[in-house]
Amino acid sequence: MKSFSASLTTTLVTLACLLLLASCSNNNFEQVAPTAPSEFSSAQQDLAASPIDAAILASRSDYYSTPSKFPPTHHVSATSVVAAPIYAVTDLGTLGGPFSAALDINTSGQIVGAAALANGSLHPFLYANGQLTDLGTLGGNAGIASGINEIGEIIGQADNAQGIRRAFLYRNGVMTELGTLGGSESRASGINASGNVVGSASTSANARHAFLYGNGQMFDLGTLGGTTSWANQINASGQIAGGSHTPPDERWHAYIRNQNTMTDLGTLGGNQSVAFDLNDAGQVAGWSNLVSGGPFRATLWSNGTITDLGTLGGESIAYVINNSGQVVGHAYTADNRQHAFLIKGGAMQDLNDLIPALSGWELSIATDISDDGRKIVGRGIINGENHAFLLTLDAAQAIRNLIDLVRSFNLHHGIENSLLVKLEHAEDAINAGDLSGACNKLTAFINEVNAQAGKKLTLNQANQLLAGANQIQTALGCQ
């Protein structure tokens, strides 16, 4: 029986330790045998099937233990970053405790997620206008806000007065419990602009099924033939993406549900997959394994084609795909650090390479990206704590940094002027909102640098300039 790689095994064992209220050191993690996919515990199933649980690293355990117990990842080494930051980083803070994670952002820039109180309890939050607001619970101790739509309706999961977790809809300052499918608990994972909500809930038969909530009613979406299913997101046209067990061995398979039909999306060649998100074009992002029992890989399903989105050296998971086809998620590096990634029309990029080198941050997971690609949210390490972050594209500042780099080379006046003019025009275009024009000016800059490499520019100078310009083009989505 093949086992998972060390990175996922460590995450799952961390989850199991927290659930059992055990004190687990890193040595304990290494001594526990890997868990095969077919032997996922209930908590491990949640982590594999739910982007919410995966992003918060065992949100289930947050109801019973202090988030500060999560082991921080290593800090970014000086050699792993570059000198041309593209995104500015904002720490969203916490609600008094040592932990927070951002899970969703709408076009108005409102952000939702979960943050720890001073007593360690996890509460849903709304971040707007620079302020983090505690949304409260359904009467219990803890909760998570997992999604927000364009009119500010918020969904998530929270404990009620009996300590049972229930899906909720937060609208006009009021949190409403959405019920179940006949069982005890439920969770809401996604919401579209029409206010339709999807998630998972327990049934009267003590199974867990995906649900659709609309017009005050919760509907059971069924499964792909297995016992368990999750719905993770719903798009503007009502298509739903998630994961379901399949017979006969109860393995996870990604699905898309369209017009009341749940379709198995298949895998990358292994035996498991789960869809975490889909955009309005029906493109689906999530994870799959390449071989049965093998490690997770970030995966894109689009127009009948399954694509391996790559990795930063270890396992990877895609959390979100926006309406521009840009993907964010997390991947493990070759030295087993968990890093947030971005894919914008090309190869996977480590988001830690696109922020200021001395920011103090290590970005662990990116959980959402705006449709224009200018804002990204997630969770990272700052001063030894897990905090929610907001990245804001600052391409104009990145170009100014590149201008400073050109000037620092003390080049011949002619070549320096020529390069500076192109960069200044690119900055002007960005400030005017003309991204296409900025891309064209950056391409002209890149062409000139390539032409002068080894001539009026040393190869080292040319490589530095090309790295900076290519990063800016990637961030802008230049083709």
In this structure, are 160 and 222 located in the same domain? yes
Among residues 327, 362, 393, which one ends one of the domains?
393
Peptide bond into 67 cis (omega under 30): no
38 domain-assigned? no
418 conformational bin, left if phi > 0, alpha if psi -120 to 50, beta if neither: alpha
Q: Could you tell me if residue 109 is inside a domain?
A: yes
Q: Classify residue 407: in a domain, yes or no.
A: yes
Domain match, 381 and 471 both: no
Q: Kindly state whether residue 54 falls inside one of the protein's structural domains.
A: no
* Residue with tokens 């990358």, as numbered in its chain: 268
Examine the domain organization and report whether 400 and 273 are in the same domain.
no
47 part of a folded domain: no
Shared domain check, 429 and 376: no
CATH no. for residue 213?
2.130.10.150
Does residue 180 sit in helix, strand or coil?
A: coil
Q: Computed over its alpha carbons, how large is the radius of gyration of the chain?
A: 23
Alpha-carbon distance 477 to 372, whole Å? 9
Instruction: Write down which residue in 339, 359, 393 finishes a domain.
Output: 393
Q: Are residues 147 and 240 in the same domain?
A: yes
In terms of domains, do 330 and 459 share one?
Answer: no
Same domain, 253 and 328: yes
Last residue in a domain, options 342, 366, 393: 393
Domain that holds residue 470: 396-476
When divided into structural domains, the chain yields a total of 2
In a domain, 16, yes or no: no
Per-position pLDDT tens, the chain of length 479: 332 233 332 333 232 222 222 222 222 212 222 222 333 344 445 556 766 666 664 332 332 222 222 333 333 333 333 445 789 999 999 999 999 999 999 999 999 999 999 999 999 999 999 999 999 999 999 999 999 999 999 999 999 999 999 999 999 999 999 999 999 999 999 999 999 999 999 999 999 999 999 999 999 999 999 999 999 999 999 999 999 999 988 899 999 999 899 999 999 999 999 999 999 999 999 999 999 888 899 999 999 999 999 999 999 999 999 999 999 999 999 999 999 999 987 789 999 998 988 899 999 999 999 998 889 999 999 999 999 999 999 989 889 999 999 999 999 999 999 999 999 999 999 999 898 999 999 999 999 999 999 999 999 999 999 988 988 887 787 87
> For strand 122-128 and strand 111-117, is the pairing parallel, antiparallel, or unpaired?
antiparallel
In sequence order, the 6+-apart residues with CB closer than 8 A to the CB of 221 are: 198, 209, 210, 211, 212, 229, 231, 240, 257, 262
Could you tell me if residue 62 is inside a domain? no
Q: Are residues 151 and 168 in the same domain?
A: yes
Residue matched to tokens 């304990």 = 28
